Amino acid sequence: MFKRVLIANRGEIAVRIIRACQELDIETVAVYSAADANALHVQLADMACPIGPADASESYLNMAAILEAAKSSGADAIHPGYGFLSENADFAEQVTAAGMTWIGPLAETIRQVGDKDIARAAMVPSGIPMAKGSEPLTSNEMALTAARETGYPVILKPVAGGGGKGMFVAHQEEDLKNILQLADVTKTKFYFEHYIERSRHIEVQIVADNFGTVLHLGERECSLQRRNQKLLEESPSPALTHEMRKQVGLLAIQAAKSVHYTNIGTVEFLLDLSNNEFYFMEINPRIQVEHGVTEAVTGIDLVRTQIRLAAGEPLDFTQKDVTFTGHAIECRINAEDPDNNFLPSPGKITGWHAPGGPRIRFDSGFAAGLTIEPYYDSLIAKVVAHGRTRGDAIKIMQRAIREFQVDGIKTTIPLHKRILEDDYFRTGNIDTQFIKKRLPAYAHTHAKATLKDKMDQAAAINSSLYYA
């Protein structure tokens, strides 16, 4: 096992990794930018090393500075968390070349799944279903031709990268011509996929050791998104039958084996609601923001598992050992103003009261007196509720969100309150367009619902809710 691990990250995930290391009796090294000198992850770590100015490109993305911090602190492993350098194959190679262990999949695997064109090609021999797509585009003329061949509507995706960024949807050729004025396909590699109008975003947690064992830890429903960025996740998905759940788990294992995957990762699918078919999207070669949802329903600590696998230990459980208990929901709380197009809301936190109580998990890297910087991701906290049923989990989460008080900045807490009160959400009647379609209604939350609205939802609500 490792003696000392450097966490190449900040905020909530850095705190999460530090806590896992403490439980494994591993010393921790935090890195921090000039803006994060007083951050919680710096306070909790055994050691801390400055790595540069506030701008992420000069600090948390500064590979040379992080490697130097790891060497000078005597770290024998680096955990990248999520975001920043977590999917940078070159950095993973540099870590291993320096004689340290990379806590994640192999560099060649990161490179393979990071290129969506290569990743899709790797799935073909296994027969994993994929939406019709195109080759990487090299010109606007090729883009227009490829879109016609793929069939409208189409979604334009960058070949590299993840997190739902840089995507554009075109329902007709005129839309695409406008998009091509924003997205330069000659400078950034893009490709097309046929856009599934009504879909649910289903991802499967996978875990694999260095000895050929690949398991899945169930699925997460991730359909509630804004700008292709997730807001709320839950497990199990209310959309899946037992057979569908079994099917998507096997598909995820198959996909992982197709790229010889090791460590922790996530295989993402779209569920086409027109035919209930799954279509492969991508593999994320890292721990996910929403990993706590899976930990709640399985009882398996994913970060500790990551570390043990990286240290060369085999998995100490089988697929039959993986059991699922209850229902878990996670609300991502961001420093954003949902009533103003989710505009970021940096600033000093003047008041902070975190939720607690039975069946609530609270993960954050912030507290009263700390500052939300404009340089980094807007995520400030994650709240996970674990109930006996989906309805039970919703009620627990509602209580927790009411308790969560943040002063000094705008947050998405009010939006989450509206979502949890929404009859359509409470019945599980959701898809990837849910937020886009329902957001206008949230601006009129005091408007009276009609009798028909109430009657249409009553039966489903009664069957899904358990009032604890």
Neighbours of 47 (CB within 10 A): 17
Say how far apart CA 272 and CA 287 lie, in whole Å. Answer: 26
Say how far apart CA 342 and CA 298 lie, in whole Å. Answer: 33
User: Do residues 322 and 298 make contact, with C-beta atoms less than 8 angstroms apart?
Assistant: yes
- Using DSSP's 3-state secondary structure scheme, residue 461 falls into helix
Give the pair of three-digit tokens for residue 99.
């004689």
What secondary structure letter does DSSP report for 238? T
In DSSP notation, 325-338 reads: -SEEEEEEEESEEG
Burial 77-93 (b: 16+ CB within 10 A, else e): bbbbbbbbbbbbbebbb
In DSSP notation, 401-460 reads: HHH-EEESS--SHHHHHHHHH-HHHHTT---TTHHHHHHHHHTTTTSPPPHHHHHHHHHH
Q: Which residues pair with 155 in a beta bridge?
A: 169, 193
Catalytic residue among 10, 286, 332, 390: 286
Q: Annotated catalytic, 286?
A: yes
Say how far apart CA 400 and CA 389 lie, in whole Å. Answer: 17
Say how far apart CA 4 and CA 446 lie, in whole Å. Answer: 54
User: Do residues 133 and 109 make contact, with C-beta atoms less than 8 angstroms apart?
Assistant: no
- Residue positions annotated with a catalytic role: 286
